[in-house]
Amino acid sequence: MILGIGTDLANIERIAGTLERFGDRFRNRVFTDLEQAKAERRKDVAGTYAKRWAAKEACSKALGTGLAMGIAWKDMSVRNLRTGQPVMELTGWAKERLEAMTPEGHEATVHVTLTDDHPWAQAFVVIEALPIGQSTHSAQGLSAQFPPIVKDGDGGAG
């Protein structure tokens, strides 16, 4: 079952201007160390940050809270699997909210997709809950390769 859907569109030039104006103050307030490392090694630094900004906004909407109910920016982060697939990781209040909205006997998976076409970066987040043992990844036989929510790491594009 679908528990939440969120989307966001971010202007890459606006993010570039914010990075230029506020620098590390902005980076450190909004993005995890892993997200910063990923963005800073990419050719399109601002575009990479903009996609992650959009993902955080979309995730907060899918959680049904926006950013008003205590979710910190860093409670939601994006990393990439070795395949390049983006993965949304939740910690802190965002993780608590996900657990609270997940029906008993179910496990939640946060799906995220990112795209950009200058000057726009876009993200969609869908939160899905399936009975324990029947997650999307388990059903595909990929549970070890693509865990629903993971801790840390990096890889691929996005």
pTM, to two decimals: 0.83
Over the chain, what is the mean pLDDT? 87
pLDDT of 69 higher than 90? no
Closest CA to 155 of 58, 76, 56, 41: 41
Full set of structural domains in the chain with CATH = 2-139 (3.90.470.20)
Q: Rounded distance, CA 53 to CA 150, Å?
A: 19
pLDDT of 156 higher than 50? no
The residue assigned the tokens 């993005």 is 31
Angle separating helix axes 45-62 and 33-40, nearest 10 degrees: 140
Predicted local distance difference test score (pLDDT) of residue 158:
60
Whether residue 119 is preceded by a cis peptide bond, meaning omega within 30 degrees of 0, is: yes
CB atoms within 10 A of CB 6: 24
pLDDT of 127 higher than 60? yes
Task: Return the DSSP state at 107.
Answer: E
| pLDDT band (50, 70, 90) for residue 142 | very low
| pLDDT, tens digit, 9 for 90 and up, residues 86-105 | 999 999 999 999 999 999 99
Of 6-20, 69-83, 136-150, the least confident: 136-150
Tell me what the mean pLDDT of segment 27-47 comes to.
97
77-109: burial string, b at 16+ Cβ within 10 Å, e else: bbbbbeeebbbbbbeebbbebbeebbeeeebbb
Tell me what the mean pLDDT of segment 115-120 comes to.
97
